[in-house]
Structure 1
Amino acid sequence: MKKMPKDTFHNDDAILDVYEKPELGQGILLSMQHLFAMFGSTVLVPILVGINPSIALLSSGVGTLVHMLLTHFKIPAYLGSSFAFVATMQALMRQDGYPAIAQGAIAAGLVYVIVALVIAKVGSDWVNKVLPPIVVGPIIIVIGLSLATTAANDAMMKGTKYNLTYFGVAIFTLVMTLIFQMCFKGFTSLVSIMLGIVCGYALSCVLGIVDFSGVAKAAWFSMPALDVPGISYHFKWYPAAILTMAPIAFVTMTEHMGHIMVLNSLTKRNFFKNPGLHRTMMGDGLSTIIAGFIGGPPTTSYGENIGVLAMTKVHSVWVLAGAAVFAIIFSFVGKVAAVIESIPMPVIGGISFLLFGTIASNGLKILVDDKIDFGEKRNMLIASVILVIGIGGAYLQLGNFQLTSVALCTIFGMLMNWILPKKAASEKALEAEKKEKEQKYFN
């Protein structure tokens, strides 16, 4: 392991800290582990919309590297296809095709860039004021648990029907991952997620639930079918697409900030200050703009990869950069991408039980570490509203614009933290009564 000289802080809880570089062989396997974790979701978005999955893989890898460049390789984050835009993109694809989606994606990215420039001007000190631990902790719990239904459905459902074989594969994948994590040490423990996926995939092959048709059809080497404005298609303005997709950027921004908060907790750093929230926002925005220009869906930071970081305690940006490079390479190697794409959903679901739960556990850790007193009504009320809105899946729908449960509970949490008094009236009355009794006693 080598440590870059610019590293001035070391997180002793990490096996590999942010700037530490693994050996080449270990680094390849650790990067592949991240690729497996994000692959299913990243290619699922374009499949749902009707976009070429290879382009989504390419834009994911390029976007991640751009984000790392803009944040000076200080943040171990991976950017994949965003689900927040799926419903809108499906409607636009049916109506006007990909050119409309491209303009909407570019517009959403520009919203990020504008907000980043504003934050660069006014600073990010307000973040700690509007997002104290009592708000941050429950939001991180929500980020993890709001994905719980997705993990469970991936593990149990074949289409719309419950499938016991699928659930058995998911539990087997989970158990094998736990065994590799807890019963082995050294590098085997670090790549427990990838080994769990391999074991689940092997069992899936034995049970005959792996579809190899895509592997047979895929070419070994092929150029992703890029959709470039003015080259692949005639340029035309789509103002409706721009007005529909641009506001969704404000939704993904709240999720982006939530992911940064999780990374702050994991790495014991403050990425809002260094490299700065404006840089993380700018990186996310430019990544989405690039995706729009080459034919991919908008991108965002991925909870799956944060879960891998939390589980393995390997926070190295070298590892995440390696995953991005592999994503770019595999976008040109059809056979390899098809093999990874053939991993059955119950295998992903079994791993997700662990990854998403680990994110939620880090939210609990923040509340414990900051010694949040739930005997105070204010804390109890803020946490309760955030958790139920977020985990319950409540959302605000205005036409085609949707404020997701994560974004909605974040807004409610910030507003309650701002509006609610430090002490409830009943608590103030009890304190006053207690002081009065103490004064009488001493007099």
Structure 2
Amino acid sequence: MSEKEVFRNKDALLDINDKPNFPHWLVLSIQHLFTMFGATVLVPLLIGLNPSIALFCSGVGTIVYLLCTKAKIPAYLGSSFAFIMTMQVLMKNYGYPAVGQGAIAAGLVYVIVSLIVGKFGSSWVDKLLPPVVVGPIIIVIGLSLATTAANDAMLNNSNYDLKFFSVAIFTLLLTIGFNIFLRGFPSMIPVLLGIIGGYIFAVMMGIVDFTAVAKAKWFTLPAFDVMFINYDFKWYPAAILGMAPIAFVTMTEHMGHIMVLNKLTKRNFFKDPGLNKTLLGDGFSSIIAGFAGGPPTTSYGENIGVLAMSKVHSVWVIGGAAFFAIVFSFCGKISALIQSIPSPVIGGISFLLFGMIASNGLQILVDNKVNYALKRNLVITSVILVVGVGGTYLQLGNFQLTSIALATIFGIGLNLILPKYAFSER
């Protein structure tokens, strides 16, 4: 038997290769689609692109990622936030052709690094990322999103809104109830049920705007801006030099998400299918997005949170979400309806999803019995948590090293530099 056939994660309701029946597959996939939709369409809105193309690129990119990783990793790819500042500048000064070239350049960096890893291996990952580093980084990935969840739950156009907060708390409590008390198939879709329940309550509270839904057409082509077809080709060195280095930053987040998935699925994706395959899939996804007219892509923590809560890790479900993302990118009505989900509903769900990610980091520390009587462990964890959760970043011109990337670098560096025991412990 192959390793895939021998090993099955008993904690998962549906493991990686388990195929749900059609009705279950449909509902579980829609749950993932709803979860990633807001963030994926927000990126193009912030930089001046049509959301439909980002949705299309998200679906295609995820399918490409699944193919590159031999359908072994249940990861969903959506629009990357790391490039927003640079893309805004490029859109203002040059238009989309520059952004597209930057996305392709970033994707090529991933591909080049994947080839290097494929040549020399990834055994160094275990040395650079022991549990004392991995656990806090995963905690940071979850908690660094806490402010986003809180703002979604409370703020209406930057002003505190009690209605918004009420909807968020109602959605949160409803989702917790579904997660704890439901059995059978409904226990697999607490996020979707929470979103639906929260949405209905939001309608009752009068904070849902159906104007865009009424105006939207049933069928519309995504706003493709295909390189070599929609515009005359011209080199944009500023775009390439501005976006390519940021790929090294998103790689650290990429590896952080792989760590979380390793923990959830009880596998080691750095070894099988290999870090080179995961980087290759992420890189090809961004390259395709650049050619088609969308922003670069990356794996989504929101969807990892759904995996943690639902215990459904099936790649069939992830692939289904990608399929529906492509379909919905052509359907204006459905796309507009999903976009009409108000931020407090997403905020209420996010309280639980992001916390689930952070809790998995804590569990890594517990499972590996990390000894905090040792000063080195205490120092490494303390620095990672405060730098990452505090939102510390390094800004050099248009280049920004995000808090997660900076916390990862500090953690890796301290782990390599600090002795096993402090002088007072010897």
TM-score range, shorter chain: over 0.9
Equivalent position amino acid for 1:225 in 2: A
Q: SS where residue 234 of structure 2 aligns?
A: coil
Aligned to 1:414: 412
Q: What is aligned with 1:29?
A: 27
For residues 155-177 of structure 1, the C-alpha deviation after alignment (integer angstroms, 9 at most, x for no partner) is 00001111110000000000111
Q: Within 2, Cα distance between the matches of 1:268 and 1:179? A: 27
Query: How far, CA to CA, are the matches of 1:225 and 1:371 in structure 2?
Result: 51
Contact 1:112-1:281 at 8 Å conserved across structures: yes
Q: Structure 1 6/394 Cα, relative in aligned 2: closer, same or farther at 3 Å?
A: closer
Counterpart CA distance in 2 for 1:199 and 1:364 is 30
Please state if 1:243 is matched with 2:262. Answer: no
- 2:254 aligns with 256
> What secondary structure sits across from 2:6 in the alignment?
coil
Deviation at 1:218, TM superposition (A): 1.1
Matching residue's letter, 2:295? P
- Offset from partner CA, 1:74-97 (integer Å, 9 cap, x none): 000000000000111111111111
Q: Is the 8 A contact 1:255 1:407 kept in 2?
A: yes
Distance (Å, rounded) in 1 between the aligned partners of 2:187 and 2:348: 17
Rounded to whole Å, the distance in 1 between the matches of 2:225 and 2:17 is 36
What is the aligned residue count?
A: 425
- Picking from 264, 281, 305, the partner of 1:266 is 264
Give the letter aligned to residue 213 of structure 1: T
Aligned to 1:65: 63
Q: Determine the structure 1 residue equivalent to 2:219.
A: 221
String of CA shifts for 1:56-85, please: whole Å, max 9, x gaps.
000000000000001000000000000000
The CA deviation at 1:183 is: 1.6
Partner of 1:94: 92
Query: Could you list the runs of 5+ residues in structure 2 that have no partner in the other structure?
Result: none
1:3-152 correspondence runs (5 A): 6-152=4-150
Structure-to-structure mapping, 1:378-389, within 5 angstroms: 378-389=376-387
> In the alignment, what sits opposite 2:401?
403
Unaligned 5+ residue runs, structure 1? Answer: 429-443
Partner amino acid for 1:174?
Answer: L
Which residue is equivalent to 1:432? none
Contact 1:374 1:380 survives alignment (8 Å): yes
Tell me, in whole angstroms, the C-alpha distance in 1 between the residues paired with 2:108 and 2:186: 43
1:8, distance to aligned residue in structure 2 (A): 2.6
Q: Deviations over 1:297-347 (max 9, x none)?
A: 000000000000000110000000000000000000110011001100000
Deviation at 1:5, TM superposition (A): 9.9
Residue 435 of structure 1: aligned partner: none
On the 8 A contact 1:222/1:332 being kept in 2, the answer is yes
Code of the aligned partner of 1:386: I
Judge conservation of contact 1:156–1:163 (CA < 8 Å) in 2.
Answer: yes
Alignment of 1:156-195 (within 5 A): 156-195=154-193
Corresponding residue of 1:346: 344
- Runs (4+) of structure 1 exceeding 3 A deviation are none
The share of aligned pairs that are identical, in percent, is 68
Equivalent position amino acid for 2:59 in 1: G
Letter paired with 1:337: S
- 3-state DSSP of counterpart to 1:300: strand
TM-score after normalising by structure 2: 0.99
Aligned to 1:155: 153
In structure 2, the residue corresponding to 1:22 is in which secondary structure? coil
Aligned to 2:202: 204
Output the amino acid matched with 1:339: L
How far did 1:6 drift? 4.7
Corresponding residue for residue 391 of structure 2: 393
Matched to 1:280, the amino acid is T
Structure with greater Cα Rg: 1
> Can you list the C-alpha shifts for 1:229-273, whole angstroms capped at 9, x where unaligned?
121111111001110000000010000000000000000000000
CA contact 1:7–1:19 (8 Å) conserved in 2: no
Measured in 2, the distance between the counterparts of 1:360 and 1:112 equals 26
Answer whether contact 1:181 1:192 (CA < 8 A) is retained. yes
How well do the aligned residues superpose, as a CA RMSD in angstroms?
Answer: 0.9
The one-letter amino acid paired with 1:303 is G
Contact 1:155 1:346 in 2 (8 A): yes
| Equivalence for 1:320 | 318
Q: Distance in 1 between matches of 2:249 and 2:286?
A: 14
**Which AA in structure 2 matches 1:362?**
N
Q: Supply the AA of the counterpart residue of 2:294.
A: G
Query: What secondary structure, in the 3-state scheme, does the structure 2 residue paired with 1:18 have?
Result: coil
